[in-house]
Amino acid sequence: MNKKSNYLKYFSILLTIVMISNSGFGQTYGGNSAETNRKFAWPEGKKMALSLTFDDARLSQIDKGIPLLDKYGVKATFYIQPGNVLQRTEGWKKAVKDGHEIGNHSVFHPCSGNFAWSRNKALEDYTLQKMKAELDSANRFIKEVLGTSTSSFAYPCGQTYVGRGINTKSYVPLIASMFKSGRGWLNEAPNDPYYCDPAQLNATELDGKTFEQILKLIETAKANGQWLVLAGHEMNDSGNQTSLLQTIDAICKYATDPANGVWIDNVRNVAEYIERKLLDESIARNRKGEIIVKARPGSKVSVEQLRHEFWFGCAISNSLADGKMPESDLKQYKEKFILNFNSAVTENALKWYSMEPRKDEVNYSVVDGILKWTEENNIPLRGHNLFWGISKFVQPWIKELSDDELRKRMQERATAITQKYKGRFAEYDLNNEMIHGNYYEERLGPEITKMMAQWAMEGDPNAKLFVNDYEILTGKRLTDYMTHIRSLLKQGIPIAGIGVQGHSHGETFDRQQLKNALDSLAIFKLPVRVTEFNMPGQNSKFYGNRKVVMTPEDEDLKAKELSDYFRICFAHPAVEGILMWGFWEGNNWIPASSMYRRDWSITPAGEAYRNLVFKEWWTNESGTAGKDGLYVIPAFYGKYKVTVGKVSKVIDLIKSEGKAVVEFRK
């Protein structure tokens, strides 16, 4: 090889390195990207967040540390070891009562077996299952002994793996599924709230440090709007692995002085604030547009929201139209539905087994009645469903048909429904829950799904056909569902949207998994609807025994979980609607998940829902047109009544356009 070839080879290697470097690989502690320079908005205009954390429930924490923190009203996070807690149980109970956070630090404090003292509890000998069992035990201990629940975890020794060699696995995903945060140890940098992974929070050592050393870290975090987490062990005047009381005192004094712009609080509160703030920013980015009112300068302008573009809906029971609901309840049912929802789905009325339980005895009356009512009230209605291939929901008479007869009946069913109701259903679930069972495909082969779609489109060429399934948002069947959707699209089946059921969880749900599932489904660039939502869900104690009465604590948890679920979904750009699967205890397959009790009194969850949809996510504004005659406001997408003087106009602010201009000067 000649010199010229060598030069070209070396130049190519250098160019590749430069390109990789510019693509963001490699370690950097600062940068010039817009993301790096963006400052996070902390509460009350604070410039940073600071959390003090201490491990192992050491005696000095109770005896000396917590009294010092309480002197300043500073709330810290203590990642406890159960055995140590038992030596000062009453003291730890008091710490909880006084507002300090208790975090999970495992039961046995497993670290690498390279530490001789950890050889009999070495991470190299752990599995993910063993780690989960231990963390569950620690959570139960915290609940039963200290009377509190935990959402925070600290990795013992800061190590995040189990196993060895090719069998090594990170247990960070486990922590992400069980807790809102996972704190590390001996890290070098504060946490950037716009970028940090809550399951892998950086923590800087506090042990042995002077206040002057810590102040440098605080100033760095403050300059960048970051979150500094300090981690220590003993809280005393001196000693090994000891956070010095003198240093802690100086930190508390500095951080509680409003002039210094520091928000000092425990890990849970800061993590929850960041999560909420990021979701709210995403909601503003994805759910708001701009209303521009053009009027005479100085004109008084009012903007009143009438409804959302986003679907906040619910299933409609057959009882609305079959004459079986008592008149007094039916009146309340209709009034409360209109009060709370802007969209709907047939719960059972359109299902084949409901419409034609016996051969050739087709009942259209309930579907007709529901459609008539929703159209009168301007409520778009989903058709659930054209087919449902779970074997137990296929009528016996259908199973007795020959293959040719079955195919003919299916064609008649699909064409008849879409033709009869042409343009009246907003969308249909084509064949419900296909990844869990597909009787029709088992009988007639893989081409039948495409034929179903073709038959439906023959009846209504503009019909929108959705897939719909469960255990997707929990992650259990997400991969299967995505493979299934890819297969349908590859066959040329006109899938218009993706339905995901939202009731496969228990009393709570995995927030990270929900976000991950929505992110994954977004790659198809199809609208996503959460089609069947209940909180608590069908894996809760309330589904197994529907007579279980909710305690006040259960009611509060239900309200919180519902709010968090809706907030995550509303913040996600791919989601276009959430529909509950029942809202009244007198007519709901999971009565405990209702917004309204049997006597029609509203539950805390119902109040939480209304506060989100009709207060926090609702735009009612008034003001004055400027010198240029313009009045401009950000507003949630939806329908509005805009009034200038005595003249009012109704307008639509829709996401696809981003803004609406209203002219009053002509």
- Give the pLDDT of residue 19: 46
Q: What's the pLDDT at 37?
A: 66
In one-letter notation, the amino acid at residue 263 is W
State mean pLDDT over 521-540. Answer: 97
Nearest C-alpha neighbor of 534 from the set 495, 503, 509: 503
- Please say if the pLDDT value at position 31 is more than 80: no
pLDDT of residue 20: 42
Q: What percent of the chain stands above pLDDT 70?
A: 94
Instruction: Compute the distance between CA of residue 158 and CA of residue 145 in angstroms, rounded to an integer.
Output: 26
Do 314 and 302 fall within a single domain?
no
> For the chain, how many structural domains are there in total?
3
pLDDT of residue 5: 59
Which residue in 52, 63, 56, 57 sits closest to 253, CA to CA?
52
* Cβ-contact 403, 442 below 8 angstroms: no
Query: In b/e form, how buried is each residue of 102-137, taking b as 16+ CB within 10 angstroms?
Result: bbbbbbbbbbebeeeebeebbbbebeeeebeebbee
- Residue 101, strand partner residues: 77
Cβ atoms within 10 Å of 608's Cβ, excluding its own: 20
Amino acid at 199: A
Same-domain check for residues 342 and 474: yes
The answer to whether 302 touches 621, Cβ cutoff 8 Å, is yes
Look up residue 116 and give its amino acid. Answer: A
Instruction: Mark residue 437 as left, alpha or beta (left: phi above 0; alpha: psi -120 to 50; beta: remaining).
Output: left
Judging by beta carbons within 10 Å of its beta carbon (0-12, 13-18, 19+), is residue 71 exposed, middle or buried?
exposed
Residue 546 · residue 590 · CB < 8 Å = yes
Residues 558, 648 within the same domain: no
Band (394; pLDDT cuts 50, 70, 90)? very high
Same domain, 320 and 241: no
pLDDT tens string 488-520: 999 999 999 999 999 999 999 999 999 999 999
DSSP state of 313: E
Q: Which helix (H) or strand (E) holds 145?
A: helix 128-146
In a domain, 187, yes or no: yes
Does 32 score more than 50 pLDDT?
no
Q: Using CA atoms, how far apart are residues 103 and 77, in angstroms rounded to an integer?
A: 7
Q: What does residue 576 show for φ and ψ, rounded to 5 degrees?
A: -120, 5
In this structure, the answer to whether residues 200 and 293 fall within a common structural domain is: no
pLDDT of residue 6: 58
Q: What does the alpha-carbon distance between residue 648 and residue 640 come to, in Å, rounded to a whole number?
A: 10
- Closest among 352, 283, 351 to 315, alpha carbons compared: 351
Q: Is residue 12 part of a domain?
A: no
| Residue at 274 is within a domain | no
CATH number, domain containing residue 657: 2.60.40.10
- The 10s digit of each residue's pLDDT in 247-295 is 999 999 999 999 999 999 999 999 999 999 999 999 999 999 999 999 9
Same structural domain for residues 132 and 60? yes
CA distances in angstroms from 368 to 215, 218, 362, 425, listed in the order given: 71, 66, 12, 11
Q: What's the N-to-C CA distance of the chain in angstroms?
A: 79
Same domain (yes/no): 628, 609:
no
Residue 130 lies in a domain: yes
Do 640 and 626 sit in the same domain of this protein?
A: yes
Confidence class for position 534, pLDDT limits 50, 70, 90: very high
Average pLDDT rounded to a whole number, residues 308-328: 97
Cα atoms found within 13 Å of the Cα of residue 546, Cβ hemisphere only: 12
pLDDT category at 38 given cuts 50, 70, 90 is confident
pLDDT at 28: 32
* Radius of gyration of the CA atoms of the chain, in A: 29
Domain boundary among 265, 297, 322: 265
Flag whether 453 is in a domain.
Answer: yes
State residue 30's pLDDT score. Answer: 37
Q: What are phi and psi of 160, to 5 degrees?
A: -120, 20
Asked whether residue 318 falls in the same domain as residue 246, the answer is no
270 within some domain: no
Give which of 515, 639, 498 is closest to 570, Cα–Cα: 515
The answer to whether residue 3 is domain-embedded is no
- What CATH number is attached to the domain comprising 75? 3.20.20.370
pLDDT score at 597? 97
For 131-238, list the strands marked E by DSSP: 152-154, 161-162, 169-170, 181-183, 204-205, 227-232, 234-236
Cβ atoms within 10 Å, residue 21: 11
Higher pLDDT, 35 or 309: 309
Cβ(101)–Cβ(266) under 8 Å? yes
3-state secondary structure (DSSP) of residue 255:
helix
pLDDT for 548 equals 87
pLDDT of 111 > 90? The answer is yes
Coil/strand/helix, residue 343: strand
Report the distance separating Cα 653 and Cα 147, nearest Å.
48
Q: Is residue 507 part of a domain?
A: yes
**Closest of 516, 561, 603, 474 to residue 149, by C-alpha:** 561
Task: Say which amino acid occupies 365.
Answer: S
Same domain, 452 and 575: yes
pLDDT confidence of residue 196: 95
Residue whose entry in the numeric block shows the structure tokens 């090994």: 240
- Looking at residue 494, which CATH number applies to its domain? 3.20.20.80
| 63 contacts 237 by C-beta, under 8 angstroms | no
Indicate whether 229 and 82 sit together in one domain.
yes
pLDDT tens string 627-666 = 999 999 999 999 999 999 999 999 999 999 999 999 998 7
pLDDT for 2 equals 59
Mean pLDDT over 587-607 rounds to 97
The pLDDT tens digits for 79-109 are: 999 999 999 999 999 999 999 999 999 999 9
pLDDT on residue 566 = 98
The candidate with the shortest Cα–Cα distance to 307, out of 375, 373, 381, 379, is: 379
What does the buried/exposed string (b/e) look like for 196-212 if buried means 16 or more CB atoms within 10 Å of the residue's CB? bebbbbbbbbbbebebe
| Same domain membership, residue 348 and residue 207 | no
Mean per-residue pLDDT over the chain, rounded: 94
Domain extent for 443? 310-615
Q: For residue range 402-441, list pLDDT tens digits in order.
A: 999 999 999 999 999 999 999 999 999 999 999 999 999 9
Q: What are phi and psi of 101, to 5 degrees?
A: -95, 140
- Looking at 119-179, which runs of residues are DSSP E strands? 152-154, 161-162, 169-170
The DSSP call for residue 295 is: -
Counting residues of the chain whose pLDDT is more than 90, the rounded percentage is 92
Nearest-angstrom CA–CA distance, 484 and 365 = 34
